[in-house]
Amino acid sequence: MSTPSAPTPRTRVVREPQRAMYDRNVINRILDEGFICHVGFAVDGQPFVIPTSYGRHQDVLYIHGSAASRMLRNLGDGIPMCVTVTLLDGLVLARSIFNHSMNYRSVVVLGTGTAIDDREEKLNALRLLSEHIIPGRWNEARPPSEKELKATTIIRLPIQEFSAKVRQGPVIDDEEDYAFPVWAGVLPLNVVISEPIADSRLADGIGVPDYVKRYLRSK
């Protein structure tokens, strides 16, 4: 059983604190379900927020990008960063516009990332990123070439200072609005896996692999 971590002054949720969670298992489940993180940082006083892919191994987050990108050039030098992941689960339609909301799960991780220089560690991190998105693909696809490895930067960020915020459940209206004659409720939103579409230049005799046929992104 996971033990909740004490929030820091930077990660303590101030608005709607009842939705805050500081349990590492909760954080890990949200990170493991998401696909895209947003990385915030500042360069010469200018804030940037960049979306990119990521992967997690135990208590470390690995962030991927081009070696030429502004984000990874600067983060590799140890600039403080903020990484966020948000999963949208539903639209909450209240009787009043003011009380409309969303059901969601989000994570914020703060820290200082460092660039990975070791070749084997970089390869392992790329494998983690690939397996995070679609398990089984790494063992079948062509591995990165030396040129591709050099053109890729991976940032390692320890998951040490973090918090989650979760909103689940029904509409919460003001008592006087419950008699208002309009439909209210939750419209669930889910990732739907559709039929795979083969590439137009796929060679004859290559079928859809089981990890694609059975792909599932569960909570």
pLDDT digits (tens, 9 = 90+) for 138-148: 999 999 999 99
- Residue extents of the structural domains in the chain: 17-170
Task: Note whether 154 and 63 are within 8 A (CB).
Answer: yes
Q: What is the pLDDT of residue 43?
A: 81
CA distance linking residue 84 with residue 75, whole number of Å = 15
DSSP letter, residue 209: P
pLDDT of 12-63, one tens digit each?
Answer: 888 888 888 899 999 999 999 999 999 998 888 889 899 999 999 999 999 9
**Residue 179 exposure: Cα atoms within 13 Å on the Cβ side:** 2
pLDDT of residue 87: 97
List CB contacts of 114: < 8 A, sequence separation 6 or more.
Answer: 76, 78, 155, 156
Cβ-based neighbour number of residue 189 at 10 Å? 14
Q: Which residues contact 67 (CB under 8 A, 6 or more apart)?
A: 73, 150, 151, 152, 153
pTM (predicted TM-score): 0.89
Q: Specify the fold of 17-170.
A: Pnp Oxidase; Chain A (2.30.110)
pLDDT, residue 11, reads 84
Burial track 164-187 (b if 16+ CB lie within 10 A, e otherwise): bbbbeeebebeeeeeeeeeebebe
Query: Cα 131 to chain center, whole Å?
Result: 14
Residue 73, SS3 per DSSP: helix
Q: What is the pLDDT of residue 133?
A: 94
Give residue 75's identity as a one-letter amino acid code.
Answer: L
User: Residue 191, CB half-sphere, CA atoms under 13 Å: how many?
Assistant: 11
The tokens for 105 are: 């799960």
Distance CA 36, CA 46 (A): 23
All residue ranges of the chain with pLDDT < 70 are 1-3, 67-77, 218-219
